[in-house]
Structure 1
């Protein structure tokens, strides 16, 4: 049904193109309001608030057009490349999806913008590689999230557990909680089934993680097998809740069903929405490396791009908005409205723990590791999510799971080197 909807939408856009305005005339128009197409329909109010501020500061407003179906959204954006119905701004994904549309010469280059923002301290240099294709930058960060561990402070205090600074301390904390009848960790068999895989691998061998995402390593390699065996040992120890539990992870943590939940900093919003006070009811810490000899602690991060097209109605206005978006004044509003962190290291976050990781990540303290969901090509990701979902319910199947994922990887990389 999604495919049919997408095809129908593409056909509608094609018809619209036949009766649209002349492209050269459209390109000469000077816009005072930009359309911002996005796949984050629930964020419409946040985008509207940003549009109000941008209207005041740079005389450019924003009209958000939100989608909740990602397949339909992607179909619209790709169809817009061939029609006159084009977004001024649009959200996308890093990794292979960004490379795909850049190769089609559809996305406006932002290299100069990145250079200026990095020099001004408005964007961290470590983020640039994830927006770089063939040595040039495209788009700017719509948002950024750093992954770590949220924990229930009441549970920790009650059992004398402190936020760990080493992996050994993390396992000791889990053992202490388990002995006291508290389940230490949350995990799931759907969608986010990859979280512990990426975290353990990034903390054991981040170079292997990078090679795996580019087809230069195999899922059946000894290093990957070792990751699964470490993960299995935690499951076998009884440190995780039932992977099939459908309870929202924020409720799991609030109701003390588990002591810790690994999630991105955006999870903070879910906690505050449940009247949980940061620093009092819950805390956040960076997950230590499994391999203590690594020079930097690996921190999983994700960043979603905000882009403009090379052939938008007013390219100069679109790029001007992207430049403003990275500024401190814009990012302070963006972060505070959502209760989240910002890609701009200058922005102060109300939550002290989240503010600290933002500053540290921006200063180069951590090795930033692209989230598995973005780092892995979609066909391989599909097989991996299914495989990890099976593994968390059948830990003994890990070798079979890795072989199945590798089959998908072999097929993909054979034609996509």
Structure 2
């Protein structure tokens, strides 16, 4: 079986399920047969409250369609990046076939050859026109798609209403307004951090960069 560590955003799930098999033609419309084979999937714990029922259903449906067994292994976010890096360095036999990974890990893993380019597979499936652009971009590097959207979190910006009223500022609605507002606050309120990022939460600031 070819090994596919396919990116997912913290926020995405990789599309590599069609990789199972070695080109054998099955009896269901000529689809790839995975009979007797196992698809290893790494899923992060904590993304969803209890993913086990969902993946049990997916595994049953996948086996019925392809004949392959889906083996889900749950990983911890705190140690996952190091585990992925070690697995990639260890070669194809060490990495999972499909994996959920953090958005910011996509470039790192793709540049080291740890991810499979699924651009053509996504186009052939017709899914490329049915993806949220921002999420698809997070799984793309240099025009090639390595990850499929799986899970997205909506972020919110909070601001001090009293400080904004004090300086006659309005809530920003564009990137430029956000930057301009932050610069004004930096000048007017030197004792404050105009755009703070919580410690250990760099992933929240990365999209702004």
TM over 0.5: yes
SS across alignment from 2:73: strand
Structure 1 contact 225–399 (Cα < 8 Å) conserved:
no
Partner of 2:193: 401
2:57 equivalent among 49, 58, 67: 49
- Structure 1 or 2, whichever has the larger Rg, is 1
SS across alignment from 1:141: coil
Structure 1 contact 37–87 (Cα < 8 Å) conserved:
yes
Closer, same or farther: CA 129–119 of 1 in aligned 2, 3 Å:
same
Q: Deviations over 1:300-328 (max 9, x none)?
A: xxxxxxxxxxxxxxxxxxxxxxxxxxxxx
2:89 is equivalent to residue 89 of structure 1? no
Q: CA deviation at 1:56?
A: 1.4
Partner of 1:204: 173
Higher relative contact order (CA 8 A, sep 6+): 2
Partner of 1:223: 181
Write the mapping of 1:267-278 to structure 2, written as runs, cut at 5 A.
Answer: none
Partner of 2:40: 35
Q: CA deviation at 1:133?
A: 0.5
Q: CA deviation at 1:196?
A: 2.4
Structure 1 contact 114–128 (Cα < 8 Å) conserved:
no
Partner of 1:134: 142
* TM-score where L is the length of structure 1: 0.31
Partner of 1:74: 81
Q: CA deviation at 1:136?
A: 0.8
Residues of 1 paired with 2:158 and 2:74: CA distance?
32
Partner of 1:266: none
In proportion to residue count, which structure has more helix?
1
Residues of 1 paired with 2:100 and 2:40: CA distance?
11
Partner of 2:203: none
Write the mapping of 1:172-211 to structure 2, written as runs, cut at 5 A.
Answer: 195-197=156-158, 204-206=173-175
Closer, same or farther: CA 222–46 of 1 in aligned 2, 3 Å:
same
Residues of 1 paired with 2:136 and 2:185: CA distance?
28
* TM-score where L is the length of structure 2: 0.56
Unaligned runs of 5+ in 2: 1-20, 24-33, 160-169, 198-208
Q: CA deviation at 1:115?
A: 2.2
Residues of 1 paired with 2:181 and 2:125: CA distance?
38
SS across alignment from 1:56: helix
Residues of 1 paired with 2:102 and 2:45: CA distance?
12
Q: Deviations over 1:211-241 (max 9, x none)?
A: xxxxxxxxxx53335699xxxxxxxxxxxxx
Partner of 1:186: none
Q: Deviations over 1:269-317 (max 9, x none)?
A: xxxxxxxxxxxxxxxxxxxxxxxxxxxxxxxxxxxxxxxxxxxxxxxxx
SS across alignment from 1:400: coil
Q: Deviations over 1:181-220 (max 9, x none)?
A: xxxxxxxxxxxxx73249xx996114667xxxxxxxxxxx
